[in-house]
Structure 1
């Protein structure tokens, strides 16, 4: 057992924690690295590059914007690692600039590789045959020109408002008749696709700004273009919640409008823009405090996803069709009969999200179902879940929907769904003013004979049909009465503020999740001190909470072996002698986005073992999830489901070598070497049935057994 270094507890905060924001940038660096990973098809590499750009936009509009607000208001709120807002902004500006320069280099390499396989992204002066040139000009005149509105920039024309992520072109012109200069602004409407596909082979794409530049003579007849430059802005997009708001819906409708006019946080400018024009832009946009990035390449990396849709299946991942769990199919697709027979876990995206939709559709059409209760954090634009709830209400069932208005960037969509649900007769509840309802729970109450039986769904991910195709999540279905009683108590807490005195199975935040997890870690510490194995496995998106990190440090010092799979932000510093030498951290970035939250405790034995305590949850280990959100954690006690999550899901995550990165004590992530026997967890789950979802036809089939390799302490 390792003895704690007395000096460790006296270490500076920066020696105990990684900075949250820099850790996120390190995650986005790993996403960008996938754009350079030649194991992926070329258009999938371009998709990773696009994702890294979109991620960066959101990071600036929320996280950097928040720090900038603290700095401007002289708020000296230090991060867990001891940095002031100004110090963090300085570090973030340096690192994000480096990352954005790297994005342009990757785009240059991918751009050239695309050209070699017949996908060309061409500039405004590129040569083309007469037919293509005529088509492009006709397309500009009929499909683009009518939508554009050039605006002169002079004392008679005030500088227009440019929305968040707004892309614009500045033209410096000279009137041919008298050589008088004039400056024009052309805002590119977001309704127009960023790229124009020119007919014919090879496939040629021209960015919209390049098309406009090519035909500037049609846009500005009688003028000569002396110079032009593209710029793009990112605005503060966070919404502050007023706890004293009298009407939450009205507050959010107003806040969404205010967000559109948020402070400019970042401005991307082509390097070709002259310095006086750059200064004018900063002045007009009131962006003197904004981060200005001079771009040598493509402005708006996130928009490159417009090329990913190219009809080139040979340059994309082989299509994958999720399995519908065989066990439910064997019950004639009767979800209730299958769940009543035995608990089941559906592993998305390998198993279809259609199971969740079918569960609610069946509830809506079943005459014996009397009530449905549902939390909605993100449901997407084309939501079959919403349709099922509306159908149930219109069929006369009692339907309650907890719609979370504070789901960032989904606020407006959720308001629309709330209106549609209310019109159908659904009882819509918005939860707590100062807490987000982040728990993903669905509850169906059905009359069976002389009694009522409840069926519950607990998910680690959202009720969102699009993200369910690319996020790895777990859907746990059960008809166990204890879970049902707890789910009912949780809904009553959200809708009526009736706090449950006791819960039989579920753990809920902010009520008791933090304390329960701390107690489970303490139990492993006691096992280790008594000479028994102390082991913890945990999988999550982010680990930020200092108190929970300190608890894991204490476990490490007691001799508990801790293995963490953290896709994104990790503020814990692993592998430090006397502090965290028994903690290992890995991150998995690949075809699918690892999103499920799982916690496993060895319970006095090495993992995996049949007596281990296994939990799934909607919560990451962050202060907001423990203290300011309604979350759940559910124990997994059914033996088959227990084995699936422990022996399949967690072991596969731990032994993956093809998509994994290891975090060292200095904050550096190193891609794992595949080794002599490479293992790809995504490929494994795409080709093997799950333990709880397989039907009788698979009882005699052998699912490859997973064994831990190279994880000895």
Structure 2
């Protein structure tokens, strides 16, 4: 047997590996049928063994905020993390908080995963969210804004401008802002206006100079205009003023003959989560379009106001919006810091991360002739594992589909599309293939949250081009990332497959960390053929050889592998479980990891977001380590690795360890077969778990701590390290 003895980081535990188990070992139908998750050993597990999932999500967003507070990061990147925090929190309220509130109001709410009453859970969330939003405002006011000013980018106030600067901005206001403003009065003839979700507004109190009567008006800050307006200046310092600040200082132009008494900014968050009831006769596209219209009028769930808002204005908003005091967030700073995304247009590369150009995967690099590489020939030689964004999406996934669309030997293309960009070359490749006469199947998940409208547009465009478009299975979202190309070669059909951890989206592929496997393995091709047939036809019931597929078999398969590690540890064999996911919530998986830990299995969990798994349970979680890494790129890949007594088993795929992924979505994991790919992922895990790598550590009470850097020995940045490692690769001259 071949052993791999590549060097590991200091402190990492080495496991010399034999050749991995055969690609279908342990996945046969017979063994799968023999395994019953309900017959796992009844080990004594404490009643309170999970972290609250919602509070854990808020802890994740706190880690994002800590990046904004980190003075060692470039100033514009810190501002970007403040915007990401704000955007994340908006979605959390629109979906998670809204869903919990709706279930409470309808009487359908169940106790949380830690046994908290729903109303108490909502109070816990509110208290923590209030504290986080205050910390977020403080980070902008006292950390990031001053740091930007020191770097030559000043966000100023109207009071700090010169008369000449005010006159210049007044001209801009009259020409570019005033024409699109729409003040709405509230009086007996004008009812309180509809306030759209996430819009930034000014609440204005005015007095009629003739009658003396006081009235209220609402003014929406135009979302189509830049949030930060550059102040004309001859100096080297770039100066900006917030759009709402500019508008607030020109209210007299909007209310001639009226006295403006006061004005305050406010912002409303609405419930924008929804469920579409499906049946086999319903037109899903039409149902979604109708629901998207209804979404705009979801009930309010959060009201953000500036801390100087007077009681009269606040009482009016609370009454008209039918919102509770608990849902009011009074903030000492500007509202809607998502607007900081607008600073991305500033041309100051010195205040950003150094640029990184993705490299082409070694297998897809052109040869000495510098001709365009033959993607199919490269995949036919050996499986290819690509790591985005370190390796290029354009020269791998996109090139794979482009060549398939052009190649006269390609007969059919089948692909899932969960989220796509507005100008997606992936979609265009499918259209080109259909127009060239190939058989093309696209499974478009139109229910991808917040991308529904975009996906509907692309679904119709695909249909017009002759693509066979299907919308998945009734009651399930199709979240798996799959592409299959069928090509005729020497009178036989050959399958070329791609299974990924991320969406087929060229834009997010430059920001999201993901893996993708290209393979010509006939077994994977057969698995995908069968899965696509079931997705376009009827429910998933069959088992697969190199895939684990949800909702019927994925959790069961992972539980079987975890339990095998437990039994190996009890027998004195080598045992370890390594899992990298975005979220770790599923109780059955967590309990299996606890049992494995109790048997002596080394359990390592690398999680970006929610983690309900605890590491502070004596005798239960002693062998469990949990790390979280956030940074320049969004860690998005999912990896599942099992030691298997030295014959490692490793999967990558689309599934997180959440109920929705394992029970209500079609997900797929693919088993890696190449020993070098398996070793590559283990090396990556070694680096992530090393004490010398910058990461957050989960500890007692669910607290996440980030060890402080020693200035003389700074901790390793995993993403920077990975970037350098991939860039240093050289084209392999040997043919395997």
Cα separation, 1, equivalents of 2:214 and 2:151:
44
Residue 584 of structure 1: SS of its match in structure 2? strand
1:706 is matched with none
**Candidates 191, 194, 198, aligned match of 2:231:** 198
CA deviation string 1:488-513 (max 9, x = no partner)? 11101110016453422111111211
**Candidates 534, 557, 563, aligned match of 2:598:** 557
CA contact (8 A) 1:248 1:433 kept: no
Residue 207 of structure 2: SS of its match in structure 1? strand
**Candidates 620, 630, 638, aligned match of 2:674:** 638
Cα separation, 1, equivalents of 2:491 and 2:550:
35
2:505 is matched with 464
Cα separation, 1, equivalents of 2:96 and 2:658:
15
1:72 is matched with 105
1:572 is matched with 613
1:655 is matched with 690
Residue range with higher mean Cα deviation, 59-68 or 236-245: 236-245
Residue range with higher mean Cα deviation, 214-223 or 33-42: 214-223
List aligned pairs for 1:168-567, cutoff 5 A. 168-200=201-233, 201=235, 202-244=237-279, 246-288=282-324, 291-330=327-366, 332-354=372-394, 355-497=396-538, 499=540, 501-567=542-608
Deviation at 1:598, TM superposition (A): 0.2
Cα separation, 2, equivalents of 1:289 and 1:252:
33
Quick one: structure 1 residues 460 and 240, their matched pair in 2 at CA, closer, same or farther if it must change by over 3 Å? same
CA deviation string 1:241-274 (max 9, x = no partner)? 2133722111111111111110101010112221
CA contact (8 A) 2:500 2:517 kept: yes
Deviation at 1:276, TM superposition (A): 1.8
Cα separation, 2, equivalents of 1:591 and 1:76:
38
RMSD: 1.9
1:682 is matched with 719
CA deviation string 1:196-247 (max 9, x = no partner)? 1223342111111101111112222222221100100110010112133722
Cα separation, 2, equivalents of 1:70 and 1:324:
49
Quick one: structure 1 residues 516 and 311, their matched pair in 2 at CA, closer, same or farther if it must change by over 3 Å? same
2:69 is matched with 36
TM-score, scaled relative to structure 1: 0.93
Residue 264 of structure 2: SS of its match in structure 1? strand
CA contact (8 A) 2:543 2:553 kept: no
1:665 is matched with 700
Cα separation, 2, equivalents of 1:20 and 1:386:
36
Residue range with higher mean Cα deviation, 427-436 or 491-500: 491-500
Residue 679 of structure 2: SS of its match in structure 1? helix
1:165 is matched with 198
Cα separation, 2, equivalents of 1:33 and 1:535:
32
Cα separation, 2, equivalents of 1:37 and 1:499:
47
Residue 83 of structure 1: SS of its match in structure 2? coil
2:649 is matched with 613
TM-score, scaled relative to structure 2: 0.90
Cα separation, 1, equivalents of 2:575 and 2:389:
32
Cα separation, 1, equivalents of 2:95 and 2:76:
29
Cα separation, 2, equivalents of 1:92 and 1:500:
39
Structure 1 unmatched ranges of 5 or more: 1-5, 606-610, 700-713
1:106 is matched with 139
Which structure is higher in RCO with an 8 Å CA cutoff and minimum separation 6? 2
Cα separation, 1, equivalents of 2:727 and 2:486:
27
Cα separation, 2, equivalents of 1:61 and 1:439:
25
Aligned length: 684
Deviation at 1:33, TM superposition (A): 0.2
CA deviation string 1:379-426 (max 9, x = no partner)? 122211111111111111111000001111001111011011001111
Cα separation, 2, equivalents of 1:504 and 1:10:
33
Cα separation, 2, equivalents of 1:341 and 1:665:
49
Cα separation, 1, equivalents of 2:734 and 2:299:
58
CA deviation string 1:117-161 (max 9, x = no partner)? 22111223332251x333311211111111111111111101121
**Candidates 173, 179, 183, aligned match of 1:150:** 183
Residue 494 of structure 2: SS of its match in structure 1? strand
Deviation at 1:652, TM superposition (A): 2.5
Cα separation, 1, equivalents of 2:373 and 2:71:
41
Cα separation, 1, equivalents of 2:171 and 2:406:
52
Quick one: structure 1 residues 498 and 231, their matched pair in 2 at CA, closer, same or farther if it must change by over 3 Å? closer
Deviation at 1:602, TM superposition (A): 0.8
